[in-house]
Structure 1
Amino acid sequence: MIYCGIDWAEKTHDDALVDDTGTLLAKRHITDDAAGYKILLDLLAEHGDTAEHPIPVTIETSRGLLVAVLRQGQRQVFAINPLASSRYRDRHSVSRKKSDPGDALVLANILRTDMHAHRTLPNDSDLARAIAVLARAQQDATWNRQQISNQLRSLLREYYPAALDAFAARTNGLCRPEARELLKLAPTGAARLTRPQITAALKRAGRKRGIAADTERLRDALHADWVHQPPLAEDALGKQMLALLCQLEAACTAADDLAQAVEEAFPQHPDAEVILSFPGLGLQLGARVLAEIGDDHTRFADARGLKAYAGSSPITRASGKKSSITRRRVKNDRLNHAGYLWAFAALTASPGAKAHYRRRRDERGDWHASALRNLFNRLVGQLYHCIQVHEPFDEALAFPAPAEVPTVTATAA
């Protein structure tokens, strides 16, 4: 067996090939372009890399063009966490020396000694990879939109609290189109909006119903009395607010466009029907779940592996007479975040899920987050089974009703 290790960087990469005895057979320093990739593939071919028996490769990333080139065909590609590879480095030297060629050699030796302990990159389909790109981008855009909205809210509190009061009662508040339209017209309290101006802004934002009532409500809120900053400072803060508003507009547009792209791509996947059958999972949240678990059904040996990957199952630390059971901290953060939202939404969509949550809260004394994590742990195990057998969610099987204890009535002698 020949093993290849690649120390990845932004512009150049270091490659090392070793045999079963750990002997260094070859090493190269290549560039991150088509010419460098060809040099690497030729180097692998010189040492016996074929379509039937490709040389396994280990690298410290799972993304990028280099990984896409290596994953062509049947080659096994192992993505090693940089923290794990740094621990392996200490096995070869106690002086803590480090170099890029040396790191490539360490990565190659990881496969030589502990290949069985590491997992290859999942063999997901092209559609699943495309959904993963869109779902993660939409999630990032949603987080970015919320971050900018929080910054805008903090700024308005400093000089324009009436604007916050006007949109506080609405869901998504400052992210709503009518809020952005009105803030453009009145960046400071000095701009007094009339009823026709407010009505026109609501119509430009796409409102169809309740315009007259909202016009009166918004006019009263924006014309309310509050403490003002000095005129020059208020004008400067208004300009800063408009700059933030431009960023918020771009973030809202990006989130909406990516959400539409996810809604178009996700239903095309064969597993979408099974995922959407689960209570609490819609198009956006279901796409995030598929993006993280993939569609390689051999990726996880059993449901326990998927639960550990999602961070829903607890972890036991035992030493001697001491033991503790805590939640997992090393996990897929995106899947764990989606699982929290999934379990929370399932409380209103599934009577069995709500009953399970209440038992954890009332009988076990769990906190809210702990009870939701336990519910997510159960749901993700059910999802693993349903995807493997390609069957939809069944409420009666997932949360069977507790067996009734027969009551014995006393009879008169």
Structure 2
Amino acid sequence: MNQPTAQPGLFIGMDWADQKHDIYVIDRQGKGSHQKLEHSAESIDAWVGEMLKLAGGQPIAIMLEQSRGALIYALMFREDVLLYPVNPKQLARYRESYPGSGKNDPTDAMYLSRMLRERIATLKAWRPDDENTRLIANLSQQRRKIVDGQTKLRQQLLAVLKSYFPVVLELFGKQHQLPLLLSVLRRPGGPG
């Protein structure tokens, strides 16, 4: 994916939500406006097209508080769209620098766009990982879930044995004896 080097035509802050997104757009002259966007592939696609037209051939820069998820995925492979994910703590600190500022979605979108416009020269646009890296990350995450599930089941089994059959844990309670315990539990005519 080629990263455009031109100055962005629009500075956009997006406050993500499940059903709709609050958006604040600042043009190159500094004029801002609030928008709402329904979360669907079609509406995101149409909205990006409108923003690119408004940008007059320049790329659009978008700052949002996430680095993965459906919204990032919908935006990450588009030409002329520069993404700037930001840590929520950074936004909270930025928000605190304005007196009387409270947290709400439209206001957060405005602060995201302001922060992006003010700091664009010091920020580097996010580049998505290549396909193989995303695959490895996904497989690693699935493996972690499986291991966590096995650990949870093992702990549940030990809790049940402690409650109903504590002598089994006395006989087979050592870590190296667990395979023997499982074979006894699986044996026809065994306990349970």
Q: Same fold (TM over 0.5)?
A: yes
The answer on 1:35 being equivalent to 2:42 is yes
CA distance in 2, matches of 1:11, 1:128: 29
After alignment, is 160-169 or 129-138 more displaced?
160-169
1:87 to 93, 117, 123: 93
The structure richer in strand per residue is 2
Match of 1:76 in 2: 82
SS at match of 1:77: strand
Percent same amino acid at aligned positions? 23
The answer on 1:19 being equivalent to 2:24 is no
CA distance in 2, matches of 1:124, 1:85: 24
Residues 252-303 of structure 1 deviation map (CA, whole Å, 9 limit, x = unaligned): xxxxxxxxxxxxxxxxxxxxxxxxxxxxxxxxxxxxxxxxxxxxxxxxxxxx
The answer on 1:61 being equivalent to 2:98 is no
The answer on 1:97 being equivalent to 2:102 is yes
Q: Contact 2:91 / 2:111 at 8 angstroms: preserved in 1? A: yes
1:7 shift after superposition = 0.4
In the superposition, relative to structure 1, how do residues 163 and 49 fare at CA in structure 2: closer, same or farther (>3 Å)?
A: farther
1:154 shift after superposition = 2.6
The 5-angstrom pairing of residues 303-382 of structure 1 reads: none
Match of 1:126 in 2: 131
The answer on 1:156 being equivalent to 2:156 is no
- C-alpha RMSD over aligned residues: 2.9
1:85 shift after superposition = 0.8
Match of 1:46 in 2: 53
Q: Which amino acid aligns with 1:91?
A: S
1:157 shift after superposition = 1.6
CA distance in 2, matches of 1:150, 1:183: 23
Q: Contact 1:5 / 1:57 at 8 angstroms: preserved in 2? A: yes
Q: Contact 1:61 / 1:79 at 8 angstroms: preserved in 2? A: yes
Between the two structures, name the one with larger relative contact order (CA 8 Å, sep ≥ 6): 2
The 5-angstrom pairing of residues 192-231 of structure 1 reads: none
In the superposition, relative to structure 1, how do residues 180 and 109 fare at CA in structure 2: closer, same or farther (>3 Å)?
A: farther
Count of equivalent residues:
182
The structure richer in helix per residue is 1
Q: Contact 1:30 / 1:39 at 8 angstroms: preserved in 2? A: no
Residues 180-201 of structure 1 deviation map (CA, whole Å, 9 limit, x = unaligned): 62599523xxxxxxxxxxxxxx
Q: Which amino acid aligns with 1:149?
A: R
1:150 shift after superposition = 1.9
CA distance in 2, matches of 1:151, 1:14: 43
SS at match of 1:56: strand
Q: Contact 1:17 / 1:108 at 8 angstroms: preserved in 2? A: yes
In the superposition, relative to structure 1, how do residues 127 and 179 fare at CA in structure 2: closer, same or farther (>3 Å)?
A: farther
CA distance in 1, matches of 2:74, 2:186: 47
1:170 shift after superposition = 4.7
Over alpha carbons, which structure has the higher Rg?
Answer: 1
1:71 shift after superposition = 0.6
Q: Contact 1:49 / 1:55 at 8 angstroms: preserved in 2? A: no
In the superposition, relative to structure 1, how do residues 27 and 142 fare at CA in structure 2: closer, same or farther (>3 Å)?
A: same
1:67 shift after superposition = 0.8
1:126 shift after superposition = 1.0
Q: TM-score normalized by structure 2?
A: 0.79
Match of 1:244 in 2: none
1:142 shift after superposition = 1.0
1:76 shift after superposition = 2.3
CA distance in 2, matches of 1:98, 1:68: 26
Q: TM-score normalized by structure 1?
A: 0.39
